[in-house]
Every structure is written in structure tokens, then in C-alpha cells.
Amino acid sequence: MTSKELYLHIELYKDLQYEIKTIKENVNSIKLFLHDMKDGTIKKIRYIVKYCDQEKDLMQLLEKKNELLNEVREYLFENCKHEWTKDFSESCLYANVTIHPYKTCNNCGIMKAV
């Protein structure tokens, strides 16, 4: 594998992450419109209904993008000469703080749990 091939896979991985995030935001927006129409907060207007009708298509696209992301992640796991940096994230629920350790590769950017 050449460095150019690795670079292309890293860029594809980043692009897919961005696309997945955007699709999820769009699906959430649709869900808000659907909720507001059901509650009567907004009227059912033809173009809003048309926009909401895309939810199923977006969910199918999201599934395909996630499958592709997993394939690219697997390729990177197998082919990158990883240089791992340890880190952690915190989540708080009520008074309980949970620490989640993980590693991030400095070369390709993929993360894995410790």
C-alpha cells in the first residue's frame, strides 16, 4: 500500500463521517417537523410533507454509508502503521461520572476503546 492509497482512505473515512453526521441531522429535523405536525404546532403544508417523506430514503442511505464506513475503518485498521495516543471522555448521569478511555491513531484518525 502506498502513502497515497492510505491518504485516500483516510479522506474517504473523514468524508463518510461528515456525511453520516449530516444525514443524522437531517433525519432529526424531519422528526421535529413530523412531531410538530402531529401536535398541530405547524400545518401540514405540501412541501413540508414532501420534505418529511424523505425520511425512509435517508435512513436507507444512512445504513449504506455506515456499512461503507465500517469497511474503510477495517481497511485502515489492517493497513495503517498506527501511532496511538491515549485519551478519555467523560459522561455524567446524575451524580455518577463515567470515564471512557480510548486511543486515537495520529496517522489515520480512527479510534478504538482501550
Task: Supply the pLDDT for residue 96.
Answer: 86
How large is the average pLDDT for residues 84-113? 90
For residue 61, what pLDDT is reported? 98
Who contacts 111 (Cβ-Cβ below 8 Å, separation ≥6)? Answer: 102, 103, 104, 105
Section 21-44 average pLDDT: 94
- Give the C-alpha separation, 65 to 87, whole Å: 27
- Does residue 85 register a pLDDT over 90? yes
Phi, psi of 103 (to 5 degrees): -120, 145
Burial class from Cβ neighbours inside 10 Å (0-12, 13-18, 19+) for residue 90 reads exposed
What's the pTM? Answer: 0.83
Mean pLDDT of 98-112: 92
Alpha-carbon radius of gyration of the chain? 19
3-class DSSP assignment, residue 110: coil
Q: What burial class does residue 103 get, using C-beta atoms within 10 Å of its C-beta: 0-12 exposed, 13-18 middle, 19+ buried?
A: middle
| pLDDT value of position 90 | 86
Mean pLDDT of 3-10: 93
